[in-house]
Amino acid sequence: MLRERNICGHACVDSEAWDDSRERCAMNKVSGGVRIALVVAGLMGFAERGQAQEVPPLEKIQSQAELDKAITALDAALFDAYNKCDLEKFANFFVENVEFYHDQGGVTLGRAALTDSVKKNICGKVTRELVPGTLQVFT
């Protein structure tokens, strides 16, 4: 479950009982598939670039515990950049030809387009806070 705050500080919760009229939070509902896609893209792109020394490359991960630790670290780093609008750091999580699928906005092709979309639609408008104990990794 994700808890986010819009620019006015209102909490938005990603759940099956989402009521957009109640929260009025644009782009605050991030589907599970999108979260996993972002984290896996980060795991593949960010770790391969050697910029996440504490996260081993995917082929070196040998257990569920190691995978959980790697994804948790990458999730925290990715959304730290997202929340602080550190676009250079955010962009470094993704390969150049990333394909990002949003449940409402459709497909965004390429790292530059994805980063620009975050700049236009996220920066200064929303933040993302993971509710402790809710991150799940499935293999």
pLDDT tens figures, 78-104: 999 999 999 999 999 999 999 999 999
Domain membership flag for residue 45 = yes
Q: Which domain holds residue 101?
A: 31-124
Give CA–CA dist 104/29, Å, rounded. 10
Asked if residue 54 belongs to a domain, the reply is yes
Q: Convert the pLDDT of each residue in 26-71 to its tens digit.
A: 333 344 444 454 555 555 554 444 444 578 988 999 999 999 999 9
Residue 108 has, within 13 A of its CA and on its CB side, a CA count of 19
Give the pLDDT confidence score for residue 40 in this predicted structure. Answer: 53
Global model pTM greater than 0.85? no
pLDDT per position as a tens digit, 101-137 = 999 989 999 999 999 999 999 999 999 999 989 999 9
Domain count, the chain: 1
* Res 18: pLDDT: 40
Classify residue 133: in a domain, yes or no: no
Whether 103 is covered by a domain: the verdict is yes
Determine, yes or no, domain membership for 60.
Answer: yes
Pairing of strands 126-130, 106-109: unpaired
Question: Is the pLDDT assigned to residue 77 strictly greater than 50?
Answer: yes
**Domain assignment present for 2:** no
pLDDT of residue 13: 42
